[in-house]
């Protein structure tokens, strides 16, 4: 959690903000989100989805275990003058969730990627569940650095197709939509290198451990001292109605 606290002030969602806006528009267009909805946003981070959803619903309970992320969310709320978001410091895996919500959602939060977590989402929802994750990013610089560290992280396990198939197998009315956003990367080499080192610090990896591998990945993409390439970000959004139990 210390890694996420350190990264909170610099964490950016610009690499998927177009996707996020399309997802929110779809949730509004299909009436998953309504003016009278209460929403639980699990692993909200610094508030990308919470801030986008809040103007369209009654209340958002933005939950995260990172104090740093919630602090950044609070600052963004104050800047935007948004008053219907309630920051909740809680670990989804171990915490006790009180009450039930019209919509229970999570985005890019690895701890929610288990059958047990999906069923826990259902247990606190009285309307809909929404699960958002990346789709296999095997060619990204991040994955290639993980490979250099000896980890075969293709992120295939986070592909939204897996929970989709699990929920359909349980007879849920799960609907899967996919989204893509192409980001043109053009930044100074040192900026790109420091960004990657900072990103891996979130997972407890030291700069000395990551630097050499990151350099080997980034140098082939470097022209005149700048790292330049196009990266396609792919994400999936899974929406379903939980099995209602008394």
Q: Does a structural domain hold residue 47?
A: yes
CATH number for 116 = 3.40.50.150
Percent above pLDDT 70 for the chain: 89
Instruction: Encode 49-95 in three state secondary structure.
Output: HHHHHHHHCCEEEEEECCHHHHHHHHHHHHHHCCCCEEEEECCCCCC
Q: Are the C-beta atoms of 235 and 134 separated by less than 8 Å?
A: yes
pLDDT of amino acid 55: 97
Evaluate whether residue 193 is within a structural domain.
no
| Contact between residue 166 and residue 118 where contact means Cβ atoms under 8 Å apart | yes
Helix, strand or coil, per DSSP, at residue 243: coil
- Kindly state whether residue 45 falls inside one of the protein's structural domains: yes
Residue 6: inside a domain, yes or no? yes
Domain contains 187: no
- The mean predicted confidence, pLDDT, of the chain is 87
Question: Domain tally for the chain?
Answer: 1
> What digits encode the pLDDT tens for the residues 139-191?
678 788 888 888 766 555 567 888 999 999 999 999 999 999 988 889 999 99
**pTM of the shown model:** 0.81
Domain range enclosing 88: 2-135+154-180+235-240
148: in domain: no
Residue 201 lies in a domain: no
Q: Which two tokens stand for residue 215?
A: 């350099």
Structural domain contains residue 68? yes
d(CA 119, CA 100): 13
């Amino acid at each position: 959690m210390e890694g996420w606290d350190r990264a909170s002030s610099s964490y950016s969602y610009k690499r998927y903000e177009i996707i996020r806006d399309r997802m929110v528009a779809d949730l509004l267009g299909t009436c998953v989100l309504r003016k009278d909805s209460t929403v639980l946003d699990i692993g909200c981070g610094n508030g990308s989805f919470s801030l986008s959803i809040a103007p369209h619903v009654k209340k958002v309970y933005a939950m995260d275990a990172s104090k740093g992320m919630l602090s950044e969310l609070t600052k963004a709320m104050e800047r935007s003058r948004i008053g219907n978001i309630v920051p909740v410091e809680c670990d989804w895996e171990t915490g006790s969730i009180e009450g039930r919500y019209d919509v229970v959602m999570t985005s890019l939060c690895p701890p929610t990627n288990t059958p047990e977590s999906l069923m826990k989402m259902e247990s606190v929802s009285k309307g809909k569940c929404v699960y958002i994750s990346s789709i296999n990013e095997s060619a990204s610089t991040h994955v290639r650095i993980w490979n250099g560290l000896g980890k075969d992280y293709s992120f295939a396990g986070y592909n939204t197709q897996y929970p989709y198939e699990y929920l359909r197998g349980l007879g849920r009315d799960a609907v899967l939509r996919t989204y893509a956003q192409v980001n043109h990367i053009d930044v100074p080499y040192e900026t790109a290198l420091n960004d990657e080192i900072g990103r891996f610090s979130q997972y407890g990896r030291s700069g000395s451990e990551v630097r050499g591998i990151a350099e080997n990945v980034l140098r082939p993409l470097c022209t005149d001292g700048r790292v330049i390439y196009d990266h396609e970000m792919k994400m999936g959004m899974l929406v379903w109605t939980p099995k209602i139990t008394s």
